[in-house]
Amino acid sequence: MVIKIRQLIEWKQQKRPIVVLTAWDYPIAQILDQAGVDLILVGDSLARVALGYKNELPLTLDEMIHHAKAVCRGVKQALVLVDLPFLTYQESPQQAIHSAGRILKETGAQAVKLEGGYPAMVETVSRLVQAGIPVMGHVGLTPQSVYQIGLKQQGKTKEEAERILGEAIALEQAGAFAMLLEHIPADLAAQITQKLSIPTIGIGAGPDCDGQVLVTADILGMGEKSPPFAKAYANLSAIITQAAQDFATEVREKKFPR
Ligand code: KIV
Ligand code: NA
């Protein structure tokens, strides 16, 4: 990994947009890295897009580490960061340090991301940072709280917007190196981006963030339920279907092998 965390602040200051995509295995990671993506996130969305769980909640730390190791084997340039799975960090700062420590020691990733900016989570971020573990914050729509808040846009009311802004500021003060903003109004994301000195990475958060991320399955046209803010740049499921059907036809008609 050649891209360093301190580079991100420079990119924000230079207004050079930061490109982030998710990866869940070796070939995807290798392709994204060679394509010049800046940051590769082993997001817990892999629970859905790689493992077929209905949401992020069932993913275990061992499953995440297994996938993060494969991703890191494929990456030479990009900075790799890994989501802490649901209930592998919410219990206590100790639990968070233990889980994040395993990720850094066992996978080769440089940083972790965790959800939430309520006071106990701010304290956890501060403890992780003091232990030498770089942390990206994540506010707005936090999919690990799906049973509480669903998957709808957050921060629409004035009170909610103020709470989210306050969480982002508190996480920055706790030492987070960047802030993921998911599914919030564009003007709120712009306001947070202007207030923070660390970079914001948006998903469904409008054009004024310091960087953008999408789930790679969605840009490839492989996502099962892509969110409204995603964009498909390819239709890989159609390409794979066609290849499998062509192979099946040639085998059945005894045209392959020849
Ligand atoms: O898990 C994930 O893919 C994420 C993205 C929404 C950024 O956290
Ligand atoms: Na995630």
Interface pTM, i.e. ipTM: 0.99
Expressed in angstroms and rounded, the spacing between residue 21 Cα and the centre of ligand 1 is 9
- The C-alpha atoms of residue 126 and residue 129 are separated, in whole angstroms, by 5
Alpha helices in 46-181 (DSSP H): 46-49, 61-74, 93-107, 119-130, 146-149, 158-174
The pair of three-digit structure tokens given for residue 84, joined into one six-digit string = 């802490």
Model confidence pLDDT, tens digit, residues 224-234: 889 999 999 99
Check if 22 has its Cβ closer than 6 Å to any atom of ligand 1: yes
Is 182 catalytic? The answer is yes
Expressed in angstroms and rounded, the spacing between residue 117 Cα and the centre of ligand 1 is 16
Q: What pLDDT score was predicted for residue 115?
A: 99
How sure is the predictor about 107, in pLDDT bands with cuts at 50, 70 and 90?
A: very high
- The C-alpha atoms of residue 65 and residue 255 are separated, in whole angstroms, by 43
Is residue 214's pLDDT more than 90? yes
Q: What pLDDT score was predicted for residue 224?
A: 86
Is residue 78's pLDDT more than 80? yes
The count of C-alpha atoms lying within 13 angstroms of the C-alpha of 255, restricted to the half-sphere facing its C-beta, is: 7
Q: What pLDDT score was predicted for residue 225?
A: 85
Atom 1, ligand 1: which residue's CA is nearest?
A: 43
Asked if residue 250 belongs to a known ligand binding site, the reply is: no
- Quote the pTM value: 0.98
Model confidence pLDDT, tens digit, residues 138-156: 999 999 999 999 999 999 9
Buried b (16+ CB within 10 A) or exposed e, 211-232: bbbbbbbbbbbbbeebbeebeb
Check if 215 has its Cβ closer than 6 Å to any atom of ligand 1: yes
Q: Of 159, 167, 182, 250, which one is the catalytic site residue?
A: 182
